[in-house]
Copies of this chain bind each other. A is one copy, B any other.
């Protein structure tokens, strides 16, 4: 059984008849992220890819600049902590973090009110174009490969793709932590996220768009719904936003010019 799951005794009821049996559930642990030995935040998450989670979270918060900025990462699941050391040894005053918005999403999210300057700085300019049928094929493959979810019904998935294939796929009980893990793996393994596609199983709210913008990802696709603020940010940040991607259907909420049809 994988680290992310646990087998529990349960009572299963079907049409008023009860039977004792076992069921696999997803694990959830508290993980504290320390940046240059300062405690920043504690997330509730699935205990897999903790180094990626921490680096991706810090990148999303703007506290890690790029892969080169990461000097050392060390995760200890038993102690529920990940230590990240950066070259710049920047410290983040706790106060600044606590003043940020907490998002709708899973785990504490970065993000909020982008200033006009932020928007200009984060604007995603990419020549990427992708056929609608290629996106549909990616989503099919994405759902096929989301292994933990099928076993436990308890997690979200996120993936970085090019139009032909899935490059990185991660899972977590939190939809934002799944995206953090993808971005963290890209940074740690030197995988470029620019000009690529982000798939997510979760609804697309404002914070998911902001994370995509940090990673310069021009296309975000979900089988679920966006929020109005997610759509607004996608428009402002130059990101193509696709929701309800199911079978050969999809809704394009922003910058549809990157999706090729017909």
Verify B23–A253 contact, CB threshold 8 A. yes
A103 CB–B CB distance under 8 Å: yes
- Interface majority SS (helix, strand, loop, mixed), chain A: mixed
A62 CB–B CB distance under 8 Å: no
Verify A102–B16 contact, CB threshold 8 A. no
Copy tally for this chain in the complex stands at 2
A74 CB–B CB distance under 8 Å: no
Verify A228–B27 contact, CB threshold 8 A. yes
Which of B13, B101, B111, B248 makes the CB contact (< 8 A) with A132?
Answer: B13
Verify B102–A229 contact, CB threshold 8 A. no
Specify which of A113, A173, A231 lies most central, judged by the most chain B CB atoms within 10 Å of its CB: A173
A70 CB–B CB distance under 8 Å: no
Given A43-B102, A173-B205, A261-B16, A25-B256 contact (CB < 8 Å) = no
Verify B225–A154 contact, CB threshold 8 A. yes
Verify B250–A26 contact, CB threshold 8 A. no
Number of interface residues of A (CB under 8 A): 73
**In the complex, what residues of B have CB within 8 A of residue A191's CB?**
none
Verify A225–B152 contact, CB threshold 8 A. yes
A88 CB–B CB distance under 8 Å: no
How close is A243's CB to chain B, nearest CB, in angstroms? 8
A144 CB–B CB distance under 8 Å: no
Given A28-B227, A44-B111, A102-B108, 14 more pairs with CB closer than 8 A: A11-B251, A13-B261, A15-B249, A25-B231, A26-B225, A28-B104, A29-B229, A44-B229, A45-B104, A95-B98, A104-B106, A104-B107, A105-B106, A154-B224
Q: List 10 A-B contacts (CB under 8 A).
A: A6-B228, A10-B252, A16-B133, A16-B248, A25-B227, A26-B228, A27-B227, A28-B206, A30-B101, A98-B98
